[in-house]
Every structure is written in structure tokens, then in C-alpha cells.
């Protein structure tokens, strides 16, 4: 053993770099490595970064940080849940950390939530190491966890759910979520929803993959009668992030600020949120002009034969 320690204050030596391209990346100084290994499906790292605190990385991509996971998860879940006047039965596809589940369970109208995730090891690691994310949601008697393929699961369901929330990794050419953004998939979702059901999906970076975001919007629109794209910034993702709502009856833009406030209050949600409230509801749907133009012009529909996917590099 040779070498040694530079000075009393140790400089950082453990770093994760999240590459957006081969010439743009975010450097995270790592305070502590809590878990690092490989599941059946992916590389998994649960670490404590100096700036964002506890984080989950899958295949080297930051999935969520304790610093701002509430922005992502409230933005994903709350607009759709609030838009439905009485959501009782909810299905989550993906959602490993349990934070999406947490947001759904906040609504006291909810009687039953199923969460279908393919990676049992990741779910178990999150249960063990990320209690601040799921806050015990997996133990809620209304929650049921199913380990399995989300698309297989939903294909046998008919008019069963009020809300379906799709919280999976970005579509990649060879990735497991490849066929969870296609027209055929959204038709299965449509079929699994009740007559007045509503769905929402994360829809990749608004800025770095605008064309994918626009294609997802256009694909949902080819299946649902009411469709809206919206977005918010998530600092640890280093980008404004996109979402798409597809709805059979209810339109989120028809809700007045007062009505949003009432629903949050009546359902016991109001005091639990940190990002979303009645004042934010409508603003989420305002896209910057340049993005709106791309979304409006998009003609492409993602299909099983020709699915859209993200190419970072």
C-alpha cells in the first residue's frame, strides 16, 4: 500500500456522469454508494449525491432524486387524477420507486391501485433503500404490486380502470419500454379504461427529443378524443420534461382553478403537495412557442412495426 490522503478535507473522487450526448454531461459528486449491481434487466445504482441527495440510476440514467422527485411525480400523476371527477380504480405501469403509487394513494377516492413493474429486484431495492420515496405506499391495503410485463397485463383488461398512469423508461431501440409508446399499446390502454377513463404517460425531454415528445402526443391523439401535451422542468433531469394526457370525456383545460382547488381539498390531497396546486394546473399546459410549433406539425404515429425511439447520441 502506498499513496495516501491529500489533506484533511477529502476531495471528491467518486463521480457519476449522466451523458446527454457524448459532449454534454452532468457530473454528480457521490458521497456514498448504497447499492451498485445488475438486475435481470438493467444496471442499478442507488447512491447519495452531494447536491441531489439520494438518487436512483438505471443503466446510468438518473431516474429520480430525493431533491426533486416530487416535481416529476406530482406532474405525472396529479393533473390526470384531478381531471377525473371520481377516480376509484387506478393502474400504474412501471413506477419502480413507489412514488407514483404514493401520489395516487393521496386521493381518498381511490379504492384500488395496481402497479405492474417488470423488474422485481429494482422494486425490492427501492422498497429497502428508498423509503423517503415510497413512504410506505407498498403497505397500503389499497395497493397491489404485480411483477410482470405491463403490456401483457393490460391486454386482458376491459373497461376496468378510471385512470391509467404509464411511468416507464424512455423508448429505446432495444429497450424494454420500446412497445409502451405505440398506437397498438394505447389502444389496449383505451380498452382497459372505463367509458370516462383517462390516461397519462411520461413523454421524454421536451427540449432534447422534441420530435419524440411530439410523436407520442400525436400517437395518443390518434386513439383518444381529447389529448393534451404538457411539461414542467425537473432540475436533476437537466431538461424540461414532457407528459401526454389522453382522455375519453374529461378535458383538463375545462377545469377552472377553483374546481381544481376544491377537488384537491375534498380528497385530502391539498396539504401533501409541494409542486402542483390549482394555480399551476393550467400553466403546465402552456408550451413554449417553438415546441408548440413542432407538436402541431408532427404527422408521425408510432406503431409496433415502426416505433419511435430516443437517440441521445
The residues in 23-52 that bind a second copy, with binding defined as CB under 8 A, are: 23-29, 31-33, 36, 42-43, 45, 49-52
C-alpha to C-alpha distance for 86 and 83, rounded to whole angstroms? 9
Interaction between residue 11 and a second copy (CB under 8 A): yes
C-alpha to C-alpha distance for 152 and 156, rounded to whole angstroms? 7
Q: How many CB atoms lie within 10 A of CB 248?
A: 15
Of 286-305, which residues contact a second copy (CB under 8 A)?
286, 288-290, 292
Of 149-168, which residues contact a second copy (CB under 8 A)?
167-168
Q: Which of 112, 129, 153, 233 binds a second copy (CB under 8 A)?
A: 233
- Nearer to a second copy (CB atom), residue 25 or residue 268: 25
Q: Which of 8, 141, 299, 305 binds a second copy (CB under 8 A)?
A: 8
Q: Cβ distance 269 to 107 under 8 Å?
A: yes
Which of these is catalytic: 152, 167, 196, 304? Answer: 167
- Nearer to a second copy (CB atom), residue 161 or residue 241: 241
- Nearer to a second copy (CB atom), residue 85 or residue 288: 288
Q: Which of 131, 261, 275, 300 binds a second copy (CB under 8 A)?
A: 275
Interaction between residue 283 and a second copy (CB under 8 A): yes
C-alpha to C-alpha distance for 233 and 249, rounded to whole angstroms? 28
Q: Which of 57, 138, 186, 213 binds a second copy (CB under 8 A)?
A: 57
Q: Is 167 a catalytic residue?
A: yes
Of 83-102, which residues contact a second copy (CB under 8 A)?
94-97
Q: x/- string (CB under 8 A) for a second copy, residues 201-230?
A: -x-x--xx----------------------
Size of the site for a second copy (CB under 8 A): 97
C-alpha to C-alpha distance for 282 and 257, rounded to whole angstroms? 8
C-alpha to C-alpha distance for 18 and 15, rounded to whole angstroms? 10
C-alpha to C-alpha distance for 37 and 46, rounded to whole angstroms? 9
Q: How many CB atoms lie within 10 A of CB 79?
A: 24
Q: Which of 273, 294, 300, 303 binds a second copy (CB under 8 A)?
A: 273
211 burial via Cβ count (<10 Å: 0-12, 13-18, 19+): middle
Distances (CA, A) of 80 to 20, 236, 260: 29, 23, 11
Q: Which of 54, 63, 65, 113 binds a second copy (CB under 8 A)?
A: 63
Q: Cβ distance 93 to 101 under 8 Å?
A: no
Catalytic residues: 167
Amino acid at each position: 500500500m502506498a499513496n495516501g490522503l491529500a489533506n484533511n478535507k477529502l476531495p471528491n473522487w467518486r463521480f457519476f456522469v449522466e451523458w446527454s450526448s457524448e459532449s454534454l454531461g452532468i457530473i454528480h459528486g457521490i458521497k456514498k454508494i448504497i447499492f451498485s449491481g445488475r438486475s435481470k434487466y438493467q444496471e442499478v445504482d442507488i447512491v447519495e449525491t452531494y447536491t441531489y441527495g439520494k438518487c436512483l440510476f438505471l443503466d446510468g440514467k438518473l431516474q429520480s432524486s430525493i431533491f426533486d422527485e416530487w416535481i416529476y411525480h406530482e406532474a405525472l400523476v396529479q393533473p390526470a387524477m384531478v381531471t377525473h371527477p371520481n377516480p376509484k380504480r387506478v393502474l400504474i405501469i412501471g413506477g419502480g420507486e413507489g412514488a407514483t403509487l404514493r401520489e395516487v394513494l393521496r386521493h381518498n377516492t381511490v379504492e384500488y391501485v395496481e402497479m405492474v413493474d417488470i423488474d422485481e429486484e429494482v422494486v425490492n431495492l427501492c422498497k429497502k433503500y428508498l423509503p423517503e420515496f415510497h413512504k410506505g405506499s407498498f403497505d397500503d391495503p389499497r395497493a397491489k404490486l404485480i411483477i410482470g410485463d405491463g403490456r401483457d397485463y393490460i391486454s386482458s383488461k376491459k373497461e376496468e380502470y378510471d385512470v391509467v398512469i404509464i411511468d416507464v423508461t424512455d423508448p429505446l431501440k432495444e429497450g424494454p419500454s420500446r412497445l409502451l409508446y405505440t398506437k397498438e399499446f394505447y389502444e389496449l390502454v383505451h380498452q382497459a379504461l372505463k367509458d370516462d377513463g383517462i390516461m397519462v404517460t411520461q413523454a421524454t425531454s421536451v427540449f432534447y427529443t422534441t420530435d419524440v415528445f411530439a410523436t407520442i402526443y400525436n400517437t395518443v391523439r390518434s386513439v383518444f378524443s381529447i389529448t393534451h401535451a404538457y411539461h414542467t422542468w425537473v432540475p436533476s433531469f437537466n431538461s424540461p420534461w414532457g407528459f401526454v394526457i389522453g382522455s375519453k370525456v374529461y378535458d383538463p383545460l375545462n377545469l377552472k382553478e377553483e374546481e381544481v382547488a376544491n377537488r384537491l381539498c375534498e380528497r385530502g390531497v391539498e396539504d401533501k403537495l409541494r409542486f402542483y396546486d390549482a394555480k399551476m394546473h393550467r400553466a403546465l399546459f402552456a408550451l413554449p412557442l417553438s415546441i408548440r410549433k413542432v407538436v402541431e406539425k408532427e404527422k408521425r404515429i408510432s406503431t409496433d412495426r415502426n416505433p419511435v425511439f430516443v437517440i441521445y447520441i
